[in-house]
Amino acid sequence: MSHNLLKGKKGIIFGALDSNSIAWKVAERCHEEGAVFTLTNAPIAMRMGAINTLAEKCNAQIIPADVTSDTDMENLIDKSMEILGGKIDFILHSVGMSLNIRKGKHYTDLDYEFMKKTLDISAISYHRLLKICYQKDAISEWGSTVALTYIAAQRVFPDYNEMADAKSLLESITRGWGFHYGKAKKVRVNTISQSPTKTTAGSGVKGFDGFFNYADSMSPLGNATSDSCADYCVLMFSDLSKMVTMQNLFHDGGFSFTGVSQETVEKFNS
Ligand SMILES: NC(=O)c1ccc[n+]([C@@H]2O[C@H](COP(=O)([O-])OP(=O)(O)OC[C@H]3O[C@@H](n4cnc5c(N)ncnc54)[C@H](O)[C@@H]3O)[C@@H](O)[C@H]2O)c1
């Protein structure tokens, strides 16, 4: 159901790879709420072609950009402002990739060239994006940016591997830019820490199903779905959350503050 919460707002949505992607659901919800936006993903991800279906549905143009390239990102911001006809009101950064996980490297034996790339794609890219926007004065006052993160930034989930370090950096960049961009232009910078979600990136984590079911049984409300994550993003992009910035916002059905649940304890009762 639409409430026109984003009517008149212009945005950029990163990371819709296929219909399971969290960014895909966010794009659909933003469209329903009256926003106009551009879609972007890595040039290599375009080859899958699925994003064209989303673009058609949301009446959005696609601008390929590798988040590790200054040139691509500058082009993305310039073209988005040109297409949308002015400054940007909201941005979703829904991008993550771990080379060490992909190559099956254990946390105790990381390859640092892979790790540099992982940090660049998954965390430094948020800094790069905000730096380019800041220098071009591309985001409107009270504009809102959100990046997606995971609780492995605060607690150890062994198979999440180097992505935990990437998410810690992402959340730190959020506080840093949130302060500077807030002071200078009243732009808001936050992360949403989402429950395990069945997507291409999520399923790349070893033992994902066990991970998913464990979190579900530990969360009083159960795992948050990507559809409800999309609702939360809409709230964060809207004027209803104007004074929220520099935060890591848990969107996890209560997982982050639960010590233990009855279902989990029962598994250990002999
Ligand atoms: N799925 C989960 O369980 C879960 C939980 C918490 C947070 N997150 C985070 O949500 C975000 C979105 O992931 P998802 O689960 O929707 O999976 P996804 O695989 O659908 O999305 C990841 C996206 O990152 C893009 N990407 C990778 N390298 C890129 C590059 N160099 N340039 C531009 N884009 C690039 C991919 O093409 C893809 O679209 C990620 O930051 C992820 O860590 C996911």
pLDDT value at position 144? 99
For residue 231, report the distance from its CA to the centre of ligand 1, in Å.
Answer: 18
- Atom 1 in ligand 1: which residue has the minimum CA distance? 202
pLDDT value at position 5? 98
Neighbours of 72 (CB within 10 A): 17
pLDDT value at position 167? 98
For residue 16, report the distance from its CA to the centre of ligand 1, in Å.
Answer: 8
pLDDT value at position 145? 99
Q: Is the CB of 101 under 6 A from ligand 1?
A: no
Q: Is the CB of 22 under 6 A from ligand 1?
A: yes
Q: Show the domain range for 152.
A: 10-266
DSSP 190-219: EEEEEPP--SHHHHTSTTHHHHHHHHHHHS
Q: Is the CB of 4 under 6 A from ligand 1?
A: no
For residue 93, report the distance from its CA to the centre of ligand 1, in Å.
Answer: 9
Check whether 26 has a pLDDT greater than 80: yes
Q: Do the domain assignments include residue 135?
A: yes
The bridge status of strand 139-149 relative to strand 188-194 is: parallel
Check whether 270 has a pLDDT greater than 80: no
Q: Is the CB of 215 under 6 A from ligand 1?
A: no
- Atom 20 in ligand 1: which residue has the minimum CA distance? 21
Q: Do the domain assignments include residue 2?
A: no
Q: CA 258 → CA 3, 155, 218, 249, distances in Å? A: 33, 13, 7, 16
Encoded amino acid at 185, one letter:
K
pLDDT value at position 47? 84
Lookup: tokens for 69 = 């390239």
Q: Do the domain assignments include residue 73?
A: yes
Q: Do the domain assignments include residue 4?
A: no
> In the structure, what pLDDT confidence band is assigned to residue 49 with cuts at 50, 70 and 90?
confident
Q: Give me the chain's average pLDDT, please.
A: 96
Q: Identify the DSSP state of 256.
A: G
Q: Which strand (E) or helix (H) includes residue 71?
A: helix 70-84
**φ and ψ at residue 137, rounded to 5 degrees:** 45, 55
pLDDT value at position 126? 99
Ligand 1 pocket: which of 18, 19, 20, 22 to mutate (most atoms <8 Å of CB)? 22
Q: Is the CB of 36 under 6 A from ligand 1?
A: no
Q: Is the CB of 194 under 6 A from ligand 1?
A: yes
- Atom 12 in ligand 1: which residue has the minimum CA distance? 94
What ligand 1 atom has the least distance to the C-alpha of 147? 41
Q: Do the domain assignments include residue 208?
A: yes
Q: Do the domain assignments include residue 224?
A: yes
Return the closest-CA partner of residue 94 out of 121, 54, 61, 72: 121
The count of domains in the chain is 1
For residue 200, report the distance from its CA to the centre of ligand 1, in Å.
Answer: 8
CATH code for position 119: 3.40.50.720
Q: Do the domain assignments include residue 68?
A: yes
Mean per-residue pLDDT, 217-225: 97
Q: Report the number of secondary-structure helices (H) and strands (E) in the chain.
A: 12, 7
Check whether 174 has a pLDDT greater than 90: yes
Return the closest-CA partner of residue 253 out of 226, 227, 218: 218
Q: Do the domain assignments include residue 90?
A: yes
For residue 122, report the distance from its CA to the centre of ligand 1, in Å.
Answer: 8
